[in-house]
Amino acid sequence: MANGGRVPILYFRTQHAPILTTLAQSFVSKAFWKVAIDAFRDPATDFRVRHAWATIFKATVVHHAQTATLTLSCRVGAQGLFAYNDIISHHASLLGIAIAEGDILGLCIRLVSELLIGRYSLPESTHPDSLLARHEKGLLSQGRALLEKMQHHRSDEFNRFILPKCDSIVRAIGHRMAYDAAVDAGLDSTITDLYLVTAVKLDSAWYVEKEKHSCAVQDATEDEAIVAALPRLDDWLDQTGVEAYCQVPILSQSNWDTFVNGLKEHTSPTSQLLAKL
């Protein structure tokens, strides 16, 4: 389609952007994972804060993975629906992970309630001027301001106005923590810039309203980050090291041929007769 000529499907922004975004999120999540594990295991830290790290990591990373598996599954069309390509079955596993060992929403409701009441607080951002740190601070301040107008956190207003926001507030904290971890670990800025702009877009309206960060600026910054990331695609895929573990039919022509040749052939007397004609 570019200038009327034929192009690979990867040329389309709608195809390469979700792949690059998922890769950036996976690298940043790995940096976040290392920091979260250290914080969770630190015996000098208040146990409730250690528990908070686990909740925030789970809520943030499971959400990234769930979004990625659904989006990527759609981008390979009907092939995304087949369990043999492992994308949609991975999404089903994530639904279980989200519930098992602590349902994410339940964990988030508890954490946000305790943070707003002020029972304990989380470590400050190492990049307090970043958009993500300002977002986190802004959402918690808004929550505290709302709580002040209510009788207490077990009120009907809390149920109506705060509970529906708890998971997105926890993910906002997680985006900030993940970004801080990745920048502090020295990850390539192509990765951290893309993570930042895509995280901003998850609550786009807030940035327009509170930071005067317009939709046009958000689009332009996202475009810049994706254009910078695209030449890194093969390199990033290699860096994941997962190729050996995802040998599904859709991955290559030879995998597809092996898969098709291995399918059981069903025949009937009529089809055998037709074959002889």
Binders of ligand FAD among residues 178 to 207 (CB under 6 A) are none
- Give the pair of three-digit tokens for residue 203: 């609550």
Binders of ligand FAD among residues 107 to 146 (CB under 6 A) are 109
Interface with ligand FAD includes 154 (CB under 6 A)? no
Q: Which of 9, 10, 99, 237 binds ligand FAD (CB under 6 A)?
A: 99
Interface with ligand FAD includes 105 (CB under 6 A)? yes
Is the separation of the CB atoms in 114 and 79 below 8 Å? no
The nearer residue to ligand FAD, 100 or 274, going by C-beta atoms, is 100
Residue nearest to ligand FAD (CB): 96
Q: Which of 43, 77, 96, 262 binds ligand FAD (CB under 6 A)?
A: 96
The nearer residue to ligand FAD, 83 or 99, going by C-beta atoms, is 99
Interface with ligand FAD includes 37 (CB under 6 A)? no
Interface with ligand FAD includes 92 (CB under 6 A)? no
Q: Return d(Cα 197, Cα 212) in angstroms, integer.
A: 15
Angle at 44 between CA 40 and CA 46, to 5 degrees: 65
**Contacting range for ligand FAD; rule: CB under 6 A; set: 96-104, 129-137, 141-149, 252-260:** 96-104
The nearer residue to ligand FAD, 8 or 96, going by C-beta atoms, is 96
The nearer residue to ligand FAD, 109 or 225, going by C-beta atoms, is 109
Interface with ligand FAD includes 103 (CB under 6 A)? yes
Residues that bind ligand FAD (CB under 6 A): 96, 99-100, 103, 105-106, 109
